[in-house]
Amino acid sequence: MGPDDRSTTPKNHPASPMKAFPVPTLQRIALAAFSLACLVFFGWACWKGLWFLSFCDEGEHLLGGQMLNEGGRLYVTYIDSHGPAIFMLTQLYGAVFGWHFPQGARLFLIVLALLAAVSISITPALSDRRHRLLASLIFLGSLASYWLMDAFYMVSFYPVAGLITVGLLALFAVPTWLNKAPHPSLCALAGGCFVLVLACAYAYGPGMVLIVGSAFWLLAAQRDYSAIRAFTGGAALTTLLLGVWFLKYSDFGSYVVFHILFNQIAYAPFINFGPKTFLASFVPSFHGEAFYPTLAHLLLAGSLALLFYRRPTRNRIAILIGFAGVILLNARAATGFKDGQSLIIAFALTGMAFMGFFEQRQKTARTLPLNPLACSALMVLAFWGSSHLATNTPFGWTYRDSTHQPPYTLYQPLNDSISQKVRALVPPGQPILMLPYTPEFYWMADRRPPEGFYEYLPWDWVYAQHSIPGYPRDLCQSLLKSPPPLIVYTPETDPTSLTVRPFFACVKERLASLYAPVEGFPSLHVLRAR
């Protein structure tokens, strides 16, 4: 047989279809189609979220950012119990773009989500470039499925913390768990992510310590101290930058009092915080807001099993510790959008664990019964389908209700009768006070709250009775010393279901003695002439 006879394609015959259009080319086309589909789906969800209804938590974050832009200081002149990171974002938005379009601050969530997806696409935890891409697409597709349903679009510290944690996991923790040494530059970025998550809420501290501690334990056992030093350096640099910001826009003592101590002393008794509540949150339920933590726990359990596959005992222990940290990020056992960080992290770990499992199987088996691309597409479809079983948080709508809401413009100055009356009674630059809690009204009326108060809730009353020395905060006393020219009181928002009933009595006394109702507007009370 001569050399020319070795050809697999007979002369004068067309090439076989498999040779002309080989399987790898089909896979590349399918991968490109899947990538485009996930990106379009995510873009559509983000566009819907940009024009979606807001919730009052978002209102206080946007209001705080505007107050900082106008010379205020967080925890001093604008006192809020949430962490500083979310106010840094809204302040940055206002400084760059102004406040004529407040809901534009939601673009930060889109940017953070894309950065989280990029961190998964470059994670050292996965060796194959296609597997990294598929893991990031699973993450984006699952995010898009729940973007509206669990309020990932909202300017709130829950999704912000979750998306930043994904970066820490993808760049540092998960690679370390799988004995894939991360580059020092990625470790430094992860160190910055660690500090930023703590700046979202101090309550994330125990969980983050377990996540990072599990990775440090493995690195120390491998004597990889360069990764630990790089992580610590990134964390130190980020802390330094936060300290510089605090010097100008906040106060460290006030931060400790009104973010940490206030929440522990005054707020914690109102949220049923405790071991029983935490353990009860693991009871599966697919009804209402409990659907979201149940889904997160199921995904975390599946991811844990996949990451355990053919791993050394030491690594399994570290992974278990890290997953305990992830669960502790919701130590208060909140449900719905207040557990958003857990579901976001569960989506990311699912993608990385699933692709990591395929890579482990490839080391021990020449062929696999499952195709990673097909499984990834089915997984995204499953997430999208499951989102139809949930109810929107915090509004309680179905998936169809949520996706068919008309476009909504966030907190622009309104020309309704009450907003016009407020602007007529109170000139620009003079404060108003909205009670008990409707932070978005300041946007609607185009007026600002007085220093130190934009709301008054039962935990504010509790703190006033037992304030930290040197940090008084008592609205009733403040109304005697420097009453605002107008108070808007809406009894229908009085949280009557909460346990502390006397909390509003003194405010009502101040309204009766210092203020007069405005004719035709029973919720408006104007300061009497002295």
**Alpha carbons 246 and 137: distance in angstroms, whole number:** 37
pLDDT confidence bin for 368, thresholds 50/70/90: low
Q: Which of 64-73, 365-374, 384-393 has the lowest mean pLDDT?
A: 365-374
Q: What is the pLDDT of residues 97-142, one digit of tens each?
A: 999 899 999 999 999 999 999 999 999 999 999 999 999 999 999 9
pLDDT confidence bin for 399, thresholds 50/70/90: very high
Contacts of residue 156, Cβ cutoff 8 Å, sequence gap at least 6: 55, 57, 58, 61, 86, 337, 340
pLDDT for the residue 181? 86
pLDDT confidence bin for 304, thresholds 50/70/90: very high
Q: What is the DSSP string of 200-239?
A: H-GGGHHHHHHHHHHHHHHHHHTT-HHHHHHHHHHHHHHH
Q: What is the pLDDT of residues 182-202, one digit of tens each?
A: 999 999 999 999 999 999 999
pLDDT for the residue 492? 65
- Please say if the pLDDT value at position 176 is more than 60: yes
pLDDT for the residue 21? 42
pLDDT confidence bin for 328, thresholds 50/70/90: very high
DSSP reduced 3-state for 74: strand
Q: Of 465, 57, 83, which Cα lies nearest the Cα of 258?
A: 83
**Alpha carbons 214 and 221: distance in angstroms, whole number:** 11
pLDDT for the residue 366? 57
pLDDT confidence bin for 495, thresholds 50/70/90: low
**Angle, in degrees to the nearest 10, between helices 56-69 and 84-97:** 60
Which residue's structure tokens are 């010379």?
Answer: 71
pLDDT confidence bin for 3, thresholds 50/70/90: very low
**Alpha carbons 241 and 310: distance in angstroms, whole number:** 42
Q: What is the pLDDT of residues 337-348, one digit of tens each?
A: 999 999 999 999
- Partnered with residue 432 across adjacent β-strands are 486
- Please say if the pLDDT value at position 500 is more than 80: no
Sign of the CA dihedral running 315, 319, 324, 329: positive
Give the HSE-up count for residue 318: Cα atoms under 13 Å, Cβ half-sphere: 22
Q: Which two tokens stand for residue 150?
A: 């669990």
pLDDT for the residue 16? 40
* Residue 472: other Cβ atoms inside 10 A: 12
Mean pLDDT of all residues in the chain?
Answer: 91
Sign of the CA dihedral running 316, 321, 325, 327: positive
pLDDT for the residue 497? 59
Q: Which of 61-75, 243-257, 493-507 has the lowest mean pLDDT?
A: 493-507
* Residue 428: other Cβ atoms inside 10 A: 8
- Please say if the pLDDT value at position 352 is more than 90: yes
Q: What is the pLDDT of residues 15-70, one digit of tens each?
A: 444 344 455 788 889 999 999 999 999 999 999 999 999 888 999 999 999 999 99
Mean pLDDT of 468-484: 95
